[in-house]
Each structure stands twice: as C-alpha cells, then as structure tokens.
Structure 1
Amino acid sequence: MKLFLIAGEESGDIHASNMIRHLKKMADFSFYGTGGNRLKDLGQVQFFHINDMSIIGLDGIIKKAPFIFKMFKTLKRKLLEVNPDAVILVDYPGFNLRFAKFAKENGYKVIYYIVPQIWAWHFSRIKKIQKYVDLALCILPFEEELYKSNGVNAKFVGNPIVNNIEFNFKNKNEFQKKFGLKSDKKVIGIFPGSRKKEIEALISPINDAVEMLGDNYQYLLAKAKNLDIDVFKNYNLSDKIKIIDGYNYDVMKYSDLLWVCSGTATLESALIGTPLILMYKVSKLTEIIGRLVIRTKFIGLPNIIAGEEVVPELIQDELTPENLSKYTSIIFSGYEKYKGYLFQIGKMFNVENPSYQAAKEIYSYLKKYNHK
C-alpha cells in the first residue's frame, strides 16, 4: 500500500513516526509527503522538510505566504503522481484542512491523526472535517464525543506523547551525578520551546528571573532535538543555566519545578507529574487575533483538561521575571497540592500504547476501504 502523509512540525514528525513504525509491522507500506528526520529515517519520500514548514502566528503566515502557496501547489501535483491508497494528515490544521479538501475531491480516503482543536478555536472548521475527513483520530479524552456529536467518524486512541516518554536514569541520584547537581538544592528545568521565535520571546524574562532567584536554585535548560546547540550562543544566557542536550524527559522528571513554553511539553510535564509554570509570548498582532478567536478560558492543555487553573499561566505582559519568581515560590509553598492536580490529569490518559492504537485503527480502516 502507498500512503501520502503530511506532518508539518516537530511534534507531528515524532508522533507520525511512532505510529508508522507499528503500521509497517502490519503490512507492507511505502509512504510519501512531508515530515522530519524521523519519518525520513523510516523511508518517507519527502517533498518538504518540517524545518521549512514551521509557522508561528498570523505574522508568520503572512511572511511565509509565498512558500505556503508553492508547497501546496507542489504537494497537489505529487499526490496525483503518487496516487496513494490513502492520505494521512497529522496535526498542522491550517494547511492540512485545505489539503484534505483537495484530496477528498480527487477521490482519496482522508485520515486525520491528531485532529484540529476545534474546542479551543475556529469551531467552524467542523464543517470541513465533516465533509473531507473519513476517519478522525483524537488524542484528548473529550474530543471523540465532541466530534461524533457533530457527525464525524471519530475515535479516541490515547495521546501519543505517552509513547515518547522514556527515561535514561533509574533515579534522581543518577541524574544528579550525571549533571553535577547538588542534592540539597532544588532544580528548575527550563523548556523554552523548539522554535527560534519562541526562544527569542521567552529567553529575556527567563534570564532575568534566574538572576533574580540567584543561587537559591539550580537551572537546567532542555534543548529541543531539532535545534542546534549554537542557537543559544546568541542569547547571552546566564552562566547559572546549564544546557542539557538529549535528556529532556529526565529533566522533566527529576527537576523539582519546570518553566515550560506553551505547547505539547506542558501536557508531557503534567503526565510526568512535575509541577510547572506555563510561559507564552507572541507578537501583538497574533495576540489580538488570538483573543478574538480563542474559545477557551485557558491556553494550557493541563488547565483545559482539568477545567481550572492547576498550572499558572504567564501570558504576554504577565510573563515577567517578577512573576516567574513569584509563582515559583507559590508552587513550592503548596507543592503537594500541585502534584495532586497533575496526578488527576494523568489518570485520564490510561490508554495503552496510543501509537499502536492509532496504527491499528488506520490499518483496520484501510483493509475495509482498500480502494479510492
């Protein structure tokens, strides 16, 4: 069988590659499209790489408009040339929903893995999903019912980040020895994001907060896999911050507190169970548009799932070194309470091997409809 798969971001490359590994064990698949190094290593014939596809905010869309149009045109042509048995779209909704329309109108089955978060914003997308998506695979517990109630063939398969969470150290002592940490001083793990724009927006308040808190804590900055470590040389990092490369989940687990850029890492941190502070800062234009269209009270997945603020959210002008310092103290003063909040969230994600479940659903669907 041939599949045409579009992943447009680092997280999509991770989750799609984990799913594809299971799918390739079920049948002989060749696959084409877009992705990152993980999908390429699994044999994907790539027409575009995620490093060129990343878009943040409305201003990012405007700047990259010529590239997006070129990519869309090229991928439409490649889809018809490849003539796959199905199209698999992974997250990346702004682009993928438009591509779903083209694929469906040309007679292809469309499977959407990691469906758009219509509950947060742009609920009107449900009409496109109803019309152009044959199978929607949901990764949050409440999404299946929401989609089904709106006429979409949807299935909750569990959250694939569960498959990614693996640790290199058996205990905290091993972790501390590896990175020369003192056992009598608390550790703050810093996750400034996987995109340069995110880091540029967050690094200044992070640096200033570290200087403000001083030697009361130890600071570890977890570098995203897709970034070169030289990126951080441009930001004049505090010498109190130690950059850690390749041990992100260990930093999440063995730190006492995390400062985390809004995104998937906030849910990963919550599922691991380490209390965290969410950081979010974008351009003024993106902020204005966001306030007009976002339907949820919170932006962090842990809070959206819990229905209350169990993770402090420092957004835009609220993201200051003073507030990072303040909420660091607040969390440590009520530490067990915050850990308890995260434990309750973790109980909702008890699906075994979500990546396998996703692959199984896709394979079952393809066996049933092995024609265009």
Structure 2
Amino acid sequence: MKKIFLIAGEESGDIHASNMIRQLRKLADFSLYGTGGNRLKELGQEQFFNISDMTIIGFNEVISKLPFILKMFSLLKRKLLEIKPDLVLLVDYPGFNLRFADFAKRNGFKVAYYIAPQVWAWHYSRIYKMRRTIDRLYCILPFEEELFKKEGINAVYVGNPIIDNIKLKIESLESFYEIFGLCKDKRTIGLLPGSRRKEVEGNIEIFYNASYLLKDRFNFIMAQADSVKDEWFGALPEHIKVAKGYNYDIMKYSDILWCCSGTATLEAAYLGTPPIIIYRVPYFTEIIGRYFLRLKRIGLPNIILNKTIFPELINKDFNPESLVRWTKIILDQMDIYNRELSAINNFFVGKDPSLTVAQDLHKNFF
C-alpha cells in the first residue's frame, strides 16, 4: 500500500486537502500521515500535529511560537524518515511547507504541492527553491500556470477550491427576500466585514455611516461569519439585518457587496455579484506592504482580470462617501460589470479542482 505524508497547517488547508483526499480514496488505497484538522483525521490520517496548534498569524506570533515551530519541524522530519512515504503532499502553508519541501527533496522523496504559494504577490525569490524541490505544483489561479512554467516548474492549473465550498441554502431571490424580510421594492447591499475581530471592528463603523446615507433606497444585510461574535458589531443600526451561516446566499442574491479583501471577493465575483473591495491596515503596515508587495492590485478578481475593474478602497480611500459613490457607479453600469463577472466565472466554471488533483496524483505518483 502506498504511503502519503501530507502537511496542512490551517483550517482552509484541512478543508481543501480533505476534499481532494476523499476523491483520491476512490482511485487508490493508501495510508495517510502528517498534520491536519478533524476532516483529515476522519479520513484516516495519522496526525502528529493538529491545525489548532499550527495556525500562525502575523510576525509577532511567529516569534512567540518559534520554539513550537522548531519542535514541530524536527519531529516531522524524523517521522518522514521513519515512514518513508511514496509522496510528500504539501497543502498551502508556504512559510513552513517550502522549508519542508527542501528537506524532503534533499532526502530523495517525491514532492507535490497543492495551492501554489503566491510568490507573484511577494517573496518572489521563493520560486527558485520551488524549482529545485517540487515535482508537481497545483495552481488555483488561472495565470499562475504560465508564470511557474516559465520558471521551469512543473505546474498545472486545476481550478479553484472555492467551488467545492460554495453551497447555497436558499433556492431563489424571492425566497431570500422573504426569509430575511427584505423590502421587495428595494435593491439589496450585502455587507461582508471580515471574519477576524480587528477586521470587523475596523470596518463596520464606516459600513454603518455609509448605510445611513442609502437606507431609504436599499435593503442592508450583513453576513456574520461563524467565528464572529455578536458584540463585535457594536450598536447595530435598525435598518441592517444580520444573517449567520448565509454568507454565500448573501453574496449570490445581493445586488452589490461591500466586501473585506480576501477570498470572499473572488467567491462573490464567481457567484455573479460585484464587490467593492475594502481593506484597512495600520499605517506602518501599509508602508511596508507597498514597499515589498509586487502587486498593483489587492483584489483577487482584479488580479485575475489584470485590470482594476472592481474598486479597491484602502485605508484613507475607504470612507462612507467613497462607498456611496462607487455603489451608484456600479449599479448604473451593471452591463459593464456583468461582462467582467462572466469573464471571471469562465475561468472556474466546469472545473473540479479536488477531482482534478486526485486524478493527476494518481496518474503521476501511483
């Protein structure tokens, strides 16, 4: 029986890896080792570390967790040499996984990497290590395959795993309006303030102030991520409804979205609703980011299209007046935005990344 040593270090990695492993189980028998969350554990992974201990956010947390990181790296190297897997499969988590790929390759193991590190955004020098250490790289953004192939990396675009995650609970626009008690004579603005406390608390005040300027003409409904606590919303205006567990329905059935930068902006575009992309960071972080980042744009839909179609309101540009102005512009020119949304959808529709990666792994490593 084949053996796979898989490292996933975050919740999203556990989700994407488990979806793919479930497909691979249909094609081959194998034993599974490494790190992950409950989803991978349920699929039979022998886990040496759980993602609950592995998630690291920001430079400060890297420093505080450095002893744990070193201990984890040491133990996983030892386990790798003991188990001698047929394949080392790394899922996202680039800060750790690219170092582990280097160790695995130097010790003669085959290495596949699912969800290519975003070296096109920053730290491009990593690409040279990737060329030496990765046998097969699975890309989830359409432009990445060509970029990595030009650098001599065996890369393939497989589609984006957001498709696996998007599940609608409401079957129609009419039902959406009825369930949440929205006025049928008004258009709807969906609010996605983020999933972390600092994001939410930093964004909602501007959301609220902008909503007061439009409340007579629009419905407002705010998506509450599972990780978000009610008190983070502060004094919620009466005209804004809040829905927990309906993020994708809000994305789908709203006319426009005020959306914190991240994967949600791409999910919104895939579902056919234009996002106004907002992002707030401390001033010092903004200065550092502008120095190191290799990007002209931060929104994934704009990065994919290679042009700034959907407005990006960052720091001082993120204010109630800009939100209101861009809301009116987009809704007045929906024909233009619908064409761009269709172009984004075409990159992903009909692709099944979990199945594609599983089939490719089976073909190349089994």
> 2:164 is paired with a residue of what secondary structure?
helix
Measured after TM superposition, the shift of residue 74 of structure 1 is 3.8
Q: Distance in 1 between matches of 2:32 and 2:225?
A: 26
AA aligned to 2:155 is A
Q: Which deviates more from structure 2 when the two are superposed, residues 133-142 or residues 202-211?
A: 202-211
Moved more, 77-86 or 291-300: 77-86
Letter in 1 for 2:17: A
1:9–1:53 contact (8 Å) kept in structure 2: yes
> Residue in 2 aligned with 1:170?
171
Letter matched to residue 274 of structure 1: T
Which residue of structure 2 lines up, in the alignment, with residue 289 of structure 1?
288
Q: Residue 98 of structure 1: CA displacement?
A: 1.3
User: What is the alpha-carbon distance in structure 1 between the residues aligned to residue 161 and residue 197 of structure 2?
Assistant: 24
Indicate whether 1:362 and 2:361 are aligned. yes
Q: Which amino acid aligns with 1:306?
A: L
1:270: how far off? 0.9
Q: Secondary structure at the match of 1:89?
A: strand
Q: 1:74 to 1:213 in 2, by over 3 A?
A: farther
CA drift at 1:310: 1.1
1-structure distance, mates of 2:45, 2:194:
26
**2:45 and 2:232 mapped to 1: Cα distance?**
34
Report the counterpart of residue 244 of structure 1 in structure 2: 243
Equivalent in the alignment of 2:135 = 134
CA distance in structure 2 between the partners assigned to 1:83 and 1:190 by the alignment: 49
1:268-283 matches, cutoff 5 A:
268-283=267-282
Alignment correspondent of 1:234: 232
**Would you say 1:315 and 2:278 are equivalent positions?**
no
- The question of 1:353 aligning with 2:352 is answered yes
CA drift of 1:197 comes to 3.9
Aligned counterpart, 1:370: none
**Change over 3 Å in CA distance of 1:187–1:59 after alignment to 2:** farther
> 1:259 maps to which residue?
258
Segments of 5+ residues of structure 2 without an aligned counterpart are none
Q: 2:114 — aligned with what?
A: 113
Q: Which residue of 2 aligns with 1:43?
A: 44
User: TM-score normalised to the size of structure 1?
Assistant: 0.89
Q: Which amino acid in structure 2 is aligned with residue 266 of structure 1?
A: T
Q: CA deviation at 1:273?
A: 1.0
The CA deviation at 1:212 is 4.1
Q: Can you give the 5+ residue segments of structure 1 that lack an aligned partner in the other structure?
A: 368-372
Q: Distance in 2 between matches of 1:137 and 1:199?
A: 32
* Runs ≥4 residues deviating over 4 A: none
Is the contact between residue 258 and residue 276 of structure 1 (CA under 8 Å) also seen in structure 2?
Answer: yes
Q: Structure 1 residues 208, 25: closer, same or farther in 2, change over 3 A?
A: same
Greater shift, 330-339 or 263-272, is seen at 330-339
Please report how far the alpha carbon of residue 159 of structure 1 lies from its aligned counterpart in structure 2 after TM superposition: 1.6
Q: Hey, what does 2:297 align to over in structure 1?
A: 298
C-alpha root-mean-square deviation of aligned residues, in Å? Answer: 2.3
- Relative to structure 1, the CA distance from residue 70 to residue 178 in structure 2 (aligned partners, 3 Å threshold; closer, same or farther) is farther
Q: Deviations over 1:339-362 (max 9, x none)?
A: 221112222224532210011111
Instruction: Kindly state the Cα deviation for residue 80 of structure 1 after the two structures are TM-superposed.
Output: 3.5
Deviation at 1:66, TM superposition (A): 4.2
- Whether 1:152 and 2:153 are equivalent positions in the alignment is yes
Paired residue secondary structure (1:26): coil
Query: Would you say the 8 A contact 2:197–2:232 is kept in 1?
Result: no
Alignment of 1:190-229 (within 5 A): 190-225=191-226, 227=227, 229=228
Q: 113-122 vs 277-286, which deviates more?
A: 277-286
Are the structure 2 counterparts of residues 110 and 99 from structure 1 closer, same or farther at C-alpha, using a change threshold of 3 Å? same
Shift of 1:88: 1.4
8 Å Cα contact 1:59/1:285 also seen in 2: no
Residue 124 of structure 1 and its aligned partner are, at CA, apart by 0.9
* Residue equivalent to 2:323: 324
Q: Measure, in 2, the Cα distance between the counterparts of 1:311 and 1:224.
A: 23
